[in-house]
Structure 1
Amino acid sequence: MSLYSFFGCLFLAYGPILSIFFLYIARNAQYVLLMVSSVAIQEIFRWGFFRILSLSGFGYALMSCLVSYISLLVESLGPGVKMCQSCPGLSLFFVSAINTTIFSLLHMAWMMVAFEGFSSYKTKSGMLQITWVIFSHYGASYATLFNASDIHLGCVYSALIGVVILAISCAWIAYGLKSRNYINRHTN
């Protein structure tokens, strides 16, 4: 049963990020090179990458997924299952795979919001976007503490907080694209 769990968690955790890679990035060698070259310390170097790269959000997301989940995924091959403390009906491997998926999408969204904020950091809106990225990153990270808590269904609260933060970030991205008339120019 551990092999089924391993592959299920593997595809859940890395499925979205691999789909984006193979459907959009892998088709262009320049995009692959940009993605690989954008791995660095996260929040501190976003500003520098803003000046240099356009696909670094994917690189952040990929490295975050690999670093945070790969050792736990390998552990899932062993005998037995570790259960999540706050959701005893779910394995820790499954809950961590869900968190990995959410964080991979969050890192891409945060990069887009941060870049928009960096490009207009002298305005109130730009500073608000940068502040949102920093504080929502802290919020989503600290929300994962619910997984190891004694709070009933804490893993659900953790995932829900991550999804809400992702939805707000994506709404901000859509608003920014619409306000720049990007969507109308590229859909016609």
Structure 2
Amino acid sequence: MSLYTFFGCLLVAYGPILSIFFLYIALSAQHVLLTVASAFFCLIALLLSSVIWFLAKTVQSTHAISIIYSVGIQELLRWCYFLLIQRAEAGLNMVAKYPRSPYNKLEFGFVAGYGYALTTSLVSYISSLVESIGPGVIMCPSCPSASVFLISAVTTSLFSLLHITWMTIAFEGYSSRTWTGWAKVAWVVISHYGASYATLLNTSKTIAYGCVYAIVVELSILFISCALIGHSLNLKPRTTARRESTRT
């Protein structure tokens, strides 16, 4: 029965991002390089968070405080990675499949978000996945009828998709330099904190079905983020046509 749990949780947690890799990322060497670079920045963020957690011994068990600096460092490294991509954007566009496409920046953000998603999902869930092979089952405190392994797998899958959308929106926001752009960046930061704090409901012993509420919050943030990306995709052809008309 433990093997069934292992493979089921494995597919739930990593199925979506593995599908994205084989169907999209792996088809382009440029995408693979951008993914590896993004994963490196994410590893730096996780390393810094781990160092702070190790030094702050008095608040190691307080997850609410750990989320504050962990999310902040991830967002800071997300901005640093954007600055790196911005400096290399001309060269990246030259070797892109469509060098003059208005969607290239969104594509770079999507691929960079995949690097973040892959790294965070592997670091956060791989140890729990290995424990699911054991003979015992740990039940979720807020949802006693579900195991911690399954709830963590669903959370990992949702956060991997969220990181892809967050990076895409952040790239669009950083590059626009308008109030709408800063609003998108604010949404990324606020929703990242909101989704992270929602995970605390999984271990809550006082809130019944807290894991359900956490999943609903994460799904709602994912839906809104996808809607923002869709809105940006619809606006791209119009803004590009407007710029071309002003030049002529």
Bin of the TM-score, shorter chain as denominator length: over 0.9
AA aligned opposite 2:82: F
Q: CA separation in 1, counterparts of 2:184 and 2:31?
A: 26
AA aligned opposite 1:172: L
AA aligned opposite 2:33: L
Q: CA separation in 2, counterparts of 1:90 and 1:46?
A: 34
Give the 5 Å matches for 1:30-179.
30-39=30-39, 40=41, 41=45, 42-53=74-85, 54=108, 55-121=111-177, 123-150=178-205, 151-179=207-235
Q: CA separation in 1, counterparts of 2:18 and 2:187?
A: 27
Partner of 2:13: 13
Q: Which has the larger radius of gyration?
A: 2
Q: CA separation in 2, counterparts of 1:68 and 1:51?
A: 26
Q: CA separation in 2, counterparts of 1:179 and 1:29?
A: 28
AA aligned opposite 2:38: S
SS in 2 for 1:157: helix
1:25 aligns with 2:80: no
SS in 2 for 1:77: coil
AA aligned opposite 1:174: G
Structure 1 consecutive aligned stretches of length 4 or more whose deviation exceeds 2 Å:
none
AA aligned opposite 1:78: G
TM-superposition CA deviations, 1:81-105 (whole Å, max 9, x none): 0000111110000000000000000
Q: CA separation in 2, counterparts of 1:108 and 1:124?
A: 22
TM-superposition CA deviations, 1:4-42 (whole Å, max 9, x none): 000000000000000000100111222112211112222
Q: CA RMSD in A?
A: 1.3
Q: CA separation in 2, counterparts of 1:127 and 1:29?
A: 32
Residue 181 of structure 1: CA displacement?
2.2
Q: CA separation in 2, counterparts of 1:34 and 1:103?
A: 20
SS in 2 for 1:79: coil
AA aligned opposite 1:27: L
TM-superposition CA deviations, 1:113-143 (whole Å, max 9, x none): 101110123x111111111100100000000
Count of matched residue positions in the alignment of Structure 1 and Structure 2:
182
Q: CA separation in 2, counterparts of 1:141 and 1:37?
A: 24
SS in 2 for 1:61: helix
TM-superposition CA deviations, 1:59-102 (whole Å, max 9, x none): 00000100110000001011110000111110000000000000
Residue 51 of structure 1: CA displacement?
3.2
Q: CA separation in 2, counterparts of 1:7 and 1:19?
A: 16
Please, what TM-score do these two structures have when normalized by structure 2?
A: 0.71
Q: CA separation in 1, counterparts of 2:30 and 2:221?
A: 31
